[in-house]
Amino acid sequence: DSGVTQTPKHLITATGQRVTLRCSPRSGDLSVYWYQQSLDQGLQFLIQYYNGEERAKGNILERFSAQQFPDLHSELNLSSLELGDSALYFCASSVEGGGPYNEQFFGPGTRLTVL
């Protein structure tokens, strides 16, 4: 158990819908990262928040957005869902903003299925 929690574990929805994935980082970690894992693309970095502020953006679609709240939990919002958005979504956290000796610890993931 990494100490990172994610809810829900599984999510099944229809195309065009909107969903929210939730992540609570390890106690003491200030940084949260979101990743998408699909069979053909592997693990793709989406976005990072550090202490409530957006720190870095990766391959995140405009239909997706995220935020980190004052209690440091984070939510990833996915809207206008398409079949191709079906994937595992992972949250990771680290103590600081990342970097050597501040590695990322991953949560168990949310499996999103879009029908």
Partner 1 sequence: GQQLNQSPQSMFIQEGEDVSMNCTSSSIFNTWLWYKQDPGEGPVLLIALYKAGELTSNGRLTAQFGITRKDSFLNISASIPSDVGIYFCAGRPPRSNYKLTFGKGTLLTVNP
- Residue among 25, 74, 93, 107 that touches partner 1 (CB under 8 A): 107
Q: Which residue lies nearer to partner 1 by CB, 78 or 92?
A: 92
Q: Which two tokens stand for residue 94?
A: 């680290």
Preceding peptide of 8 cis, ω within 30°: yes
3-state helix, strand, coil in the chain (%, to 5): 5, 50, 45
In the window 53-92, what residues touch partner 1 (CB under 8 A)?
Answer: 55-56, 58, 90, 92
Q: Which residue lies nearer to partner 1 by CB, 22 or 106?
A: 106
Q: Which window, 14-22, 61-69, 75-83, 96-104, contacts partner 1 (CB under 8 A)? A: 96-104
13 Cβ contact partners less than 8 Å away, ≥ 6 residues apart:
19, 81, 112, 113, 114, 115
In the window 41-60, what residues touch partner 1 (CB under 8 A)?
Answer: 42-43, 45, 48, 55-56, 58
Measured between alpha carbons, how far is 17 from 11 in angstroms, rounded to an integer? 12
* Residues lying near partner 1 in the complex (CB under 8 A): 2, 4, 31, 33, 42-43, 45, 48, 55-56, 58, 90, 92, 97-109
